[in-house]
């Protein structure tokens, strides 16, 4: 509920999670409504480790809408922001007109001040626009009294994958068939408590700006990649079914293999784009190599990687394998000796590595190749209000 | 003894439909490069005194029982016997039953993605055919069974390897599209990033791709056939911008398939990415495709351009990949005129130079198919049938 003070100022603060896709969204069939060419599926991460926090204040005294992101004032006329603001206001007015009087009748016509902060690097391939828009839309909905069922479409029009951040656990964003996009929505596949042993590590290689932004990148892919249409029409639909099945069966080896394959195919599409897009760098390749060698040593898929539009790796594994794998990463990517804490987030127990394992992996260590690791897990609550 | 030129492929073959006969899943097209700059030289000696077949590659004796080598030897001998049986008496009737000593040398690094097995097998097959008197029309299939793309090295200029439809592979052959004199302005640069062994050999790499990449079948069945038609058309029209763009797209798609393989295969490294970036920025500056890249199963770049743009582009490479100051000659092969770069061009490209990122460049052009070397002083084997000392010095 918005707080109202004597100056007619209403303030709401919410947090929203990051989601990491295991079946990737890359390419739109409608640029204005942000409708995808294929469905996608993601895992929502825990907010204790990664989140966007947004405060929205609304007052009759504000002259204009304004927004600050990570301490810097940004252009409120960004079409995506405008889209979200307009849609939320439209829903709010519609609600008032239908007689629901719980919301503040005048607030929707007031200007808003928005302040949003991520506790992780922006635009480094860590899906910050997803959590950012999800948070913005949710916070505005709390302020203006809009039903949560309508938020999926609004968040989606801010940033496609933002709709997946509105739910916890395992979430799919359905492609939809309607031209108006009313059926292109996110829904929960299973909740986070469904697979409590699942763990996530984010290996931060670099916090630099990504080379090609996702929006223009995927647009160029749709325009130039002949393989993309085949992926969207033929490969993804069957992978979506399989992914939902392996999650429901808690089949980690199958989940891991499918996740890695889809990550690789996404990056293959980027390479089949003209001009080609390279999100993976040498360090990403080494991490991929490490995962395959680690799995090969045990003769099963114990660890899986996925990469979004950047060089940072997201690793999925089960809690039993977590200590050893973190130690493997530490061994092959030795951190700065007196640098920052290497493993942040959830505590990871220490583990010893056998000489046999190290020998079998047979890779040259890459000192300081990974700046730090965030250890986290699947999200408990998607959205929260403070 | 024969020289056989290197070739660099424009439309990539990357998968087999038959592993024994080495039949591809799609057609491919290549440009044969000039032997003055890149070649395999092979000497074959045959004598009743030799106890067994033996082979030396780049100075080292290799296993003659390699199935691919055996395949080539057996096929050539079979053709030779067939020819004798049909009454053609020009060949030495007894030689086909003698053992052979083979010595082969490349003047470029082996297994660094410079298609050495193609030139190597083409040369071997061609040389054996000269020795045993086998018709050249039959060589395509024999070379193919040594190393798929070797069949393309049997011709000069622009060469296609047709997919074929027959199960026995008899129609999966190479043929010339246009000769090397058709497009004399076309120039080729090989940017040698590294002479290291490639990470995943082509044979096992493409096998894994066929087994695991869902995108590969679509590429082979749908994308490549139309690209082959287009490539032949743009070569015949000498349309460089279209040729260049298609070449780059096919190189990228090949590497995309490698990434869509499980486990994924990475042939391009950071330096390859920088070269790709440089080419796109250079073309963007001029608003047209003046330069094109293609990469095989390794990090080294092959650049196509027209002779008018060659001096400037070589200078651009030198500027953004400054070589070792007192190192080896940076540009080998055909002479390249010097050129000045405008400040505007350098500023617009806007890339950090990468010192020593490229070890050296080989400047070359399209060239003819295999030929016989007449001068016996160039034989790699001595009168004793063993490699001469000079053949081991490469």
Q: Write out the DSSP string of B226-241.
A: HHHHHHHHHHHTT-HH
Mean pLDDT of A150-154: 88
Torsion of CA B379, B383, B384, B387, to 10 degrees: -20
pLDDT at B83 over 80: no
Q: Which residue of B has its CA nearest to A258?
A: B262
pLDDT at B394 over 50: no
Distances in Å between the Cα of A100 and the Cα atoms of A12, A90, A96, A179 are: 20, 14, 5, 30
Mean pLDDT of A180-184: 91
Mean pLDDT of A351-371: 94
pLDDT of residue B111: 45
Contacts of B219 in chain A (CB under 8 A): 227
CB spacing of B260 vs A260 below 8 angstroms: no
pLDDT of residue B280: 98
pLDDT of residue A95: 76
pLDDT of residue A336: 86
Mean pLDDT of A81-96: 88
CB spacing of A226 vs B253 below 8 angstroms: yes
Q: What are phi and psi of B308, to 5 degrees?
A: -60, -35
Distances in Å between the Cα of A96 and the Cα atoms of A92, A106, A107 are: 6, 10, 11
pLDDT of residue B2: 44
Q: E strands within chain A?
A: 3-4, 10-16, 19-23, 28-30, 35-36, 40-44, 52-59, 66-69, 72-74, 111-118, 170-173, 186-190, 198-204, 303-307, 313-318, 343-345, 372-377, 384-385
Considering chain A, what percentage of its residues have pLDDT values greater than 90?
73
Classify residue B93 by burial, with Cβ atoms within 10 Å: 0-12, 13-18, 19+: exposed
User: Whose structure tokens read 């829904």?
Assistant: A187
**Which sign does the torsion angle of CA B321, A205, B268, A329 carry?**
positive
pLDDT of residue B322: 94
Pick from B9-18, B148-157, B206-215: least confident: B9-18
Residue in B328, B269, B332 with CA at minimum distance from that of residue B300:
B269
| DSSP run (H or E) holding B93 | none
Q: How does pLDDT run across A187-217, given as a tens digit for each residue?
A: 999 988 899 999 999 999 875 656 788 899 9
pLDDT of residue A337: 83
List CB contacts of B66: < 8 A, sequence separation 6 or more. none
pLDDT of residue A123: 44
Length of chain A, in residues = 386
- Give helix A128-144 / helix A151-158 axis angle, nearest 10°: 140
Mean pLDDT of A358-385: 86
- Which residues 146-185 of chain A have a CB within 8 Å of chain B? none
Interface residue B249 vs chain A (CB under 8 A): yes
Please tell me whether residue A377 adopts helix, strand or coil conformation: strand
Length of chain B, in residues = 394
pLDDT of residue B3: 41
Q: How far B271 CA sits from the closest chain A CA (Å)?
A: 10
Q: Which residue of B has its CA nearest to A265?
A: B260
Torsion region of B350: left, alpha or beta (phi above 0 gives left; psi -120 to 50 gives alpha): left
pLDDT at A79 over 80: yes
Both tokens of B311, joined, read 């001096």
With bands split at pLDDT 50, 70 and 90, how would you rate the model's confidence at B374?
A: confident
Q: How does pLDDT run across B10-69, given as a tens digit for each residue?
A: 566 566 777 778 888 888 899 998 988 888 899 999 888 899 999 998 888 999 999 989
d(CA A233, CA A350): 45
Q: What are phi and psi of A339, to 5 degrees?
A: -90, -165
Mean pLDDT of B85-101: 69
Considering chain B, what percentage of its residues have pLDDT values greater than 90?
49
Q: How does pLDDT run across B216-275, given as a tens digit for each residue?
A: 999 999 999 999 999 999 999 999 999 999 999 999 999 999 999 999 999 999 899 999
Q: What are phi and psi of B328, to 5 degrees?
A: -65, 165
CB spacing of A274 vs B252 below 8 angstroms: yes
pLDDT at B4 over 50: no
List CB contacts of A270: < 8 A, sequence separation 6 or more. A26, A217, A221, A276, A277, A278, A279
Q: How does pLDDT run across A364-376, given as a tens digit for each residue?
A: 999 989 999 999 9
* CA angle B126–B172–B22, rounded 5-degree value: 75
Considering only the beta carbons, identify the residue of B222, B245, B259 that sits closest to A271: B259
Q: Residue A102 has what DSSP assignment?
A: S
Distances in Å between the Cα of B180 and the Cα atoms of A64, A254, B143, B370 are: 69, 51, 21, 13
With bands split at pLDDT 50, 70 and 90, how would you rate the model's confidence at A384?
A: low
- Which residues 256-275 of chain B have a CB within 8 Å of chain A? 256-257, 259-264, 266, 269-270, 273
Q: Is the pTM of this model over 0.80?
A: yes
Residue in A105, A100, A131, A106 with CA at minimum distance from that of residue A118:
A131
pLDDT of residue A366: 93
Mean pLDDT of B356-385: 89
With bands split at pLDDT 50, 70 and 90, how would you rate the model's confidence at B393?
A: very low
Query: In sequence order, what are the beta bridge partners of A170?
Result: A43, A190
What's the mean pLDDT when you consider all of chain A? 90
User: Whose structure tokens read 């398939």?
Assistant: B257
pLDDT of residue B94: 53
d(CA A150, CA B394): 72
Q: How far A275 CA sits from the closest chain B CA (Å)?
A: 7
CB spacing of A285 vs B266 below 8 angstroms: yes
Q: Which residue of A has its CA nearest to B276?
A: A276
Q: How does pLDDT run across A294-325, given as a tens digit for each residue?
A: 999 999 999 999 999 888 999 999 999 999 99
pLDDT at B305 over 70: yes
Q: Write out the DSSP string of A40-57.
A: EEEEEBPTTTS-EEEEEE
Note the Cα A83 to chain centre separation in Å.
20
ipTM, two decimals: 0.90
CB B364 within 8 A of CB B190: yes
Torsion of CA A134, A139, A141, A143, to 10 degrees: -170
pLDDT of residue B12: 63
Torsion of CA A31, A35, A39, A42, to 10 degrees: 80
With bands split at pLDDT 50, 70 and 90, how would you rate the model's confidence at B198?
A: low
Q: How does pLDDT run across B320-352, given as a tens digit for each residue?
A: 999 988 877 899 899 999 999 999 999 999 999
pLDDT of residue B307: 96
CB A58 within 8 A of CB A382: no
Mean pLDDT of A54-59: 94
pLDDT at A146 over 60: yes
Q: Write out the DSSP string of B317-365.
A: HHHHSPPPTTSS-SEEES--------HHHHHHH-----TTSS-EEEEEE
pLDDT of residue B92: 54
Mean pLDDT of B114-139: 84
């Amino acid at each position: 509920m918005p707080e109202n003070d004597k100056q007619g100022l209403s303030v709401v603060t919410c947090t929203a999670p990051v989601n990491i896709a295991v079946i990737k969204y890359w390419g739109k069939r409608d640029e204005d409504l942000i409708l995808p060419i294929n469905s996608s599926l993601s895992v929502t991460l825990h907010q204790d480790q990664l989140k966007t926090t947004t405060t929205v204040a609304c007052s009759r005294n504000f002259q204009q809408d304004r927004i600050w992101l990570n301490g810097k004032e940004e252009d409120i006329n960004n079409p995506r922001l405008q889209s979200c603001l307009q849609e939320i206001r439209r829903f709010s007015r519609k609600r008032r007109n239908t007689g629901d009087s719980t919301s503040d009748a005048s607030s929707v016509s007031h200007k808003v001040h928005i302040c949003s902060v991520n506790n992780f690097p922006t635009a480094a391939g860590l899906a910050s626009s997803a959590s950012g828009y999800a948070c913005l839309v949710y916070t505005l909905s709390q302020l203006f009294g809009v039903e949560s069922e309508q938020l999926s479409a609004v968040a989606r029009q801010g940033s496609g994958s933002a709709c997946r951040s509105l739910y916890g656990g395992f979430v799919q964003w359905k492609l939809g068939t309607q031209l108006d996009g009313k059926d292109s929505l996110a829904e929960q596949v299973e909740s986070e408590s469904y697979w409590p042993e699942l763990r996530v590590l984010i290996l931060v290689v670099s916090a630099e700006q990504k080379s090609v932004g996702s929006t223009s990148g995927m647009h160029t892919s749709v325009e130039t990649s002949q393989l993309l249409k085949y992926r969207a029409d033929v490969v993804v639909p069957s992978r979506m079914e399989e992914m939902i099945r392996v999650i429901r069966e808690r089949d980690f080896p199958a989940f891991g293999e499918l996740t890695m394959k889809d990550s690789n195919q996404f990056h293959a599409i980027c390479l089949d784009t003209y001009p080609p897009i390279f999100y993976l760098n040498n360090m990403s390749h080494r991490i991929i190599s490490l995962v395959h060698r680690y799995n090969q040593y045990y003769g099963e898929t114990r660890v899986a990687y996925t990469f979004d539009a950047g060089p940072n790796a997201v690793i999925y594994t089960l809690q039993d394998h977590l200590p050893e794998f973190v130690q493997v990463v530490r061994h092959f990517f030795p951190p700065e000796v007196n640098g920052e804490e290497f493993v942040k987030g959830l505590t990871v127990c220490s583990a010893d590595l056998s000489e046999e394992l190290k020998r079998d992996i047979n890779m040259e260590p890459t000192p300081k190749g990974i700046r730090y690791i965030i250890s986290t897990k699947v999200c408990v609550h998607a959205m929260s209000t403070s």
